[in-house]
Amino acid sequence: MRPLSGVTRLLLICHASTRATARAAFPGDEPLDGPGLRRAEALAPAMGPARAVRAGELRCAQTAEALGLRAEPDPLLADCDYGRWSGRTLAEIEAAEPEALAAWLTDPAAAPHGGESIIDLLGRVAGWLSALEPGRTVAVTHAAVVRAAVVHAVGAPASAFWRVDVAPLARVELTGRAGRWRLSYPA
């Protein structure tokens, strides 16, 4: 069956858990932890024909493989660049740089870690969404990228970014046409 002309169906899947997830740390390029890998293997979705893409980081490659997807890496699906905070826990940052952390959590334009601001991340994800071809796409990516896609899809302000929780292996479905998106949560 051919897709409706001009309709894009996107299933976003957050990567499975890693050691950084358990430590509440800003991740580097790390593998899945044992429980995350087992959960991903148990959830291999039946999605039918779809183009599959993923972020380039190891945790996304392993999640896609565990889900049975042959996903091509797409650099625009990369995690937020946390700069010098990569590998450190939230508690460590809060103790060492409380004002910087507060600025980052309250000002979407702030990038006190020297990496990417939330505004920059939202722009990158919005650009990626606008360039998607019609048809079905499955994307394995990061919680921050899924959050950014949801904020963009519902037309929320950048300040809403932190109000969207995305757990490991969470799935969000977006349907788009002519630059407008509809958000749904697959059953």
The full set of domain ranges for the chain reads 8-184
pLDDT tens-digit map of 105-161: 999 999 999 999 999 999 999 999 999 999 999 999 999 999 999 999 999 999 999
Confidence of residue 45 (pLDDT cuts 50, 70, 90): low
Selection from 2-6, 19-23, 88-92 with the highest mean pLDDT = 88-92
Predicted TM-score (pTM) of the model is 0.93
Which position has the token pair 């797409």? 74
Confidence of residue 5 (pLDDT cuts 50, 70, 90): low
Q: Measured between alpha carbons, how far is residue 117 from residues 40, 52, 68, 83, 111 in Å?
A: 30, 27, 33, 10, 5
CA atoms within a 13 Å half-sphere pointing along the CA-CB vector of 57: 24
Asked whether residue 28 carries a pLDDT value surpassing 90, the answer given is no
- pLDDT (average), residues 45-66: 88
Nearest to 143 by CA among 72, 38, 63, 73: 63
Q: Are 109 and 119 in contact (CB under 8 A)?
A: yes
pLDDT score recorded for residue 1: 39
Confidence of residue 3 (pLDDT cuts 50, 70, 90): very low
The correct answer on CATH 3.40.50.1240 for the domain covering 8-184 is yes
Pairing of strands 51-54, 8-14: unpaired
